[in-house]
Amino acid sequence: MNNSVTNTARLLGAGLRALLVLTLVTGVIYPLVVTGVAQGLFSDQATGSETEADGRVVGSSLIGQSYNLPLKGGQETPDADLKWFQGRPQNGLGANSVNTRYELILSGATNRSGDNEELVQWVTDAKAAVIEDNSVPGYTVEPSDVPADAVTSSGSGLDPHISPQYADIQVHRVAERNGLPVAEVEKLVDEHTEGRTLGFMGEPRVNVLELNIALEDLVATR
Amino acid sequence: MGPVTAGVLQLLALIGALALVHIPLGNHMARVYSSTKHLRVEKWIYKGIGANPDAEMTWPAYLRGVLAFSAVGVLFLYLLQRLQGLLPGSLGFAAIDPDQAFNTAVSFVTNTNWQSYYGEQAMGHVVQTAGLAVQNFVSAAVGMAVAVALVRGFARSRSGELGNFWSDLVRGVTRILVPLAFVAAVVLVACGVIQNFSGIHEVGQFMGGSQQWNGGAVASQEAIKELGTNGGGYFNANSAHPFENPTPFTNLFEIFLILVIPFSITRTFGVMVGSVKQGYAILATMATIWVGFVALMMWTEFSHHGPAFDIAGGAMEGKEVRFGIGGSSIFATSTTLTSTGAVNSFHSSFTGLGGGITLLGMMLGEIAPGGVGSGLYGMLIMAVIAVFIAGLMVGRTPEYLGKKIGTREIKLAACYILVTPALVLTLTACAMALPTPANSMTNSGAHGFSEILYAYTSAANNNGSAFAGLNADTQWFNTTLGIAMLLGRFVPMVFVLALAGSLAGQRPVPVTAGTLRTEKPLFTGLLVGAILIITGLTYFPALALGPLAEGLA
């Protein structure tokens, strides 16, 4: 009996020492060396790919943001500022504590299933809103023009991108609101459309923050 | 090029990259576990542990090492979380509650990485880096050690000796995981994954105001999270978070990291048992199932059956634009056919059948290619079952790799495959029968049941992904899922090591004309069939109530 207790204690002692030594290797030395190399070689990326406009940090090119009007009295969710290109749904998805609405401090998805009534309602409402917001005199958005990413929320709730199709249907609205010719805004979207990496990885996409920065510049130069 | 073609090309690129790497990496791992030399740093480590790395262990001794090291790991990680409020570098986060700290400690030590906490709102630098990330390394190394012990059981004769646990553990870390993780982490940082130790800080926004950012040693943790098939995200959104997985390339790279050791270790197995063809047969079995599942997943996700997806015109809910349907389907299938559980898109919002495929992947026992180490030993157990079935058909004593599969061996293999189904089905039934667990569901109906079935399947199989609508931070779920993870990890290991000891003690039987040729495609076909039938029979009723009911509605 005594013997087996001693043996167990000895074994647990060995386990503890192994854990402490390996913690030093993999939990202290390894992350510090990686941090040193990362900050030395790729400090921009390692700190979050910050993006500047007019000498001011306006976020990260990797993280989505909202482009909303200030909250009005009595409002819980602000209205979208239709002057700017809009990202994937945020306010249209109702009071949902899980989805982050582009607040970085808690990332996550709605986790609603395809037959979930709330999700059906959110998607339906978002589709109606996309059609209404983007239809301007002389240009009507058809339901079939609206791509899936325009009416669904992303996994992280921080998706920085929209599909080129969603950018395209926003062009007329953005042109009208900013007093720009449609062709110039179209050109801007084309310039900011990124194809698949090496032609096959991922999907074509438009970075909304970078597009809006370019839009701001375009408006300012006129 | 359409998205379907692009998805298929991404799958082919992955297959090509894995094909290139598996031979050199598999050979390297075989050398690591067969070498008699110790590196200088390893000698220091052995001195620190106070263990003799050259002492051979029988299976009970090897098992005691595994259990002692893991028990200490759970206790250490539990205390680290409970004391978080007192530790420096905790970003002001308080101590984790006892039930959640137990759940999380067990979760990371068992290579599961189920997370009932929100990473960016609960865990500071010290717990993440010196606690959770450490277990990402060592739990993977433990899995590999047990797999190698089983391989030695097949390779050795009349000795009963399985190697030395401390040596296998340390070598797995120093010679395989740390070097690969270091390279992977640097690649990830170069592509945009963050790596810093800043606290929560404000960063300006385009429309004015600011966003709150967390810093963190994300890249170093991300690399081992995928490579060790762990899956515990630094952030709540896991690999969907742009700071964990910023580009389509990093997405494919992370899938590659998930798969590279589980596929390559079949080569290690082949080399160590003296027949690389035997390794190829196992590799072919894993690859057949994995490719088949990815193809099914792409089909159901691209055809997006489901009311909300029909209105939206695509199953993009819970998916990122940069990965699209293709990149998300490959990731979801790979993470659930291994014990990873990292996600780049949210499985709960997949189509009904897509969610079913992720569930079925875990229910197979995560063997195609499975977790680091655990995938190989799980698959070898299935191979033992398959040769037994074949032996029954022809009326011969079954044998595998020159070892007789007798009563003792088949009993151990049978016990192994009963553990996780018993845990999953019993605990799911209990949760459904009790009044309160159902309050944690976000979705109702068939999908609500799937949330709970998924949770126990994920925990007992040590996966860690979730139908994350389930609010699992309750005492019931923290406790029962913790127990499922513990038993689902260590009880099967007992049977694996007992089997290894039994095999290593046998004398080899000579190959005769009547021996089943387990290196031939016929055996691969038999093995795939046995796996699908055994899993199908076990889980069909549960699957019919959940994902099948939803997907076929």
Cβ-defined contact of B240 to A124 (cutoff 8 Å)? no
At A90 the pLDDT is: 67
Residue type at position A64: G
- In a mutational test of the B interface, the residue from A35, A52, A115, A165 whose CB has the highest number of chain B CBs within 10 Å is A115
Q: With cut-offs at 50, 70 and 90, classify the pLDDT of residue A206.
A: very high
Question: Which of B3, B72, B316 minimises the CB distance to A16?
Answer: B72
- The per-residue pLDDT for A107 is 82
Angle at A86 between CA A169 and CA B206, to 5 degrees: 140
Tell me chain A's radius of gyration from C-alpha atoms. 24
Do A15 and B69 lie within an 8 Å CB cutoff? yes
> pLDDT tens digit string along B366-398?
999 999 999 999 999 999 999 999 999 888 889
A90 and A41 co-located in one domain:
no
Mean pLDDT across the stretch B266-294?
97
The pLDDT of residue B92 is: 85
To the nearest whole Å, the CA of A181 is away from the closest chain B CA by 23
For A127, which of B10, B311, B467 is closest by C-beta distance? B311
- Which residues in B lie closer than 8 A to residue A49 (C-beta atoms)? 192, 246
Q: Which of B130, B237, B445 sits opposite A156 (nearest CB)?
A: B237
Indicate the average pLDDT of chain B. 95
Interchain CB distance below 8 Å, B307 and A37: no
Cβ-based contacts of A201 with chain B (< 8 Å): 6, 10, 13, 248-249, 251-252, 327
Q: Which residue has the higher pLDDT, B208 or B315?
A: B315
Using CA atoms, how far residue A48 sits from A93, B174, B197, B214, B219, in Å, is 27, 30, 12, 10, 11
Order across the sheet with A193-194: list the strands.
Answer: A161-162, A205-207, A193-194
What domain range is A197 assigned to? 48-221
φ, ψ dihedrals at B527, nearest 5°: -65, -45
Same-domain pairing of A62 and A76 = yes
d(CA A67, CA A82): 8
Tell me, yes or no, whether A111 and A145 share the same domain: yes
Per-residue pLDDT band at A97 (split at 50, 70, 90): very low
Check whether residue A172 and residue A184 sit in a common domain: yes
pTM: 0.96
Residue A199 in tokens = 């032609």
Residue of B191, B317, B327 with shortest CB distance to A110: B317
B305 φψ region: left (φ > 0), alpha (ψ -120 to 50), beta (else): beta
- A192 and A138 housed in the same domain: yes
Cross-chain CB nearest to A115 (options B235, B315, B447): B447
Whether residue A123 is found in the same domain as residue A175 = yes
Total domains in chain A come to: 2
**pLDDT class of A105 with cuts at 50, 70, 90:** low
Residue A159 and residue A56 share a domain: yes
Shortest CA distance from B234: residue in chain A? A107
Cβ within 8 Å, pair A158-B237: yes
Residues A204 and A127 in one domain: yes
Q: Do B1 and A26 touch (CB under 8 A)?
A: no
pLDDT at A93 over 60: no
pLDDT at A92: 35
Question: How many residues are there in chain B?
Answer: 553
The residue count for chain A:
222
Question: Any long-range contacts for A10-14 (C-beta under 8 Å, 24+ apart)?
Answer: A11/B64, A11/B65, A11/B68, A12/B68, A12/B71, A12/B72, A13/B50, A14/B49, A14/B50, A14/B51, A14/B65, A14/B68, A14/B166
Q: What's residue B49's pLDDT?
A: 93
- Asked if pLDDT for residue B504 goes beyond 50, the answer is yes
Which comes out higher in pLDDT, residue B236 or B230?
A: B230
In this structure, of A107-111, B46-50, B127-131, B186-190, the range with the lowest mean pLDDT score is A107-111
More confident residue, B313 or A80: B313
Separation CA A217–CA B172 (nearest Å): 54
Yes or no, beta carbons of A155 and B343 under 8 Å apart: yes
A155–B344 C-beta distance less than 8 A? yes
Percent of chain A past pLDDT 90, that is, above it, reads 74
- What is the rounded distance in angstroms from the CA atom of residue A87 to the CA atom of residue A163? 10
pLDDT tier at B201, thresholds 50, 70, 90? confident
Alpha carbon B419 to its chain centroid, in Å, reads: 17
Which chain A residues are Cβ-neighbours of B455 within 8 angstroms?
Answer: none
Q: Which of A18, A19, A38 sits opposite B186 (nearest CB)?
A: A38
Judge: B307–A120 Cβ closer than 8 Å, yes or no: yes
**Which residue on chain B is closest to A215 by alpha carbon?**
B206
The pLDDT tens digits for B465-481 are 999 889 899 999 999 99
pLDDT in tens, A111-170: 899 999 989 999 999 999 999 999 999 999 999 999 999 999 999 888 999 999 999 999
Nearest-angstrom CA–CA distance, B143 and B372: 6
Angle (CA) B314 B316 B321, round 5°:
120
Considering the domain architecture, whether residues A133 and A32 belong to the same structural domain is answered as: no
pLDDT band with cut points at 50, 70 and 90 for residue A109: confident
CB spacing of B166 vs A14 below 8 angstroms: yes
Say if residue A42 is in the same domain as residue A69.
no
- Are A65 and A30 in the same domain? no
Instruction: Tell me the ipTM for this assembly.
Output: 0.94
Same domain, yes or no: A145 and A206 = yes
Nearest Cα to Cα of residue B313 among A87, A194, A131, A81: A131
Put simply, the answer to whether A22 touches B207 (Cβ < 8 Å) is no
Task: State residue A12 phi and psi, 5-degree precision.
Answer: -65, -35
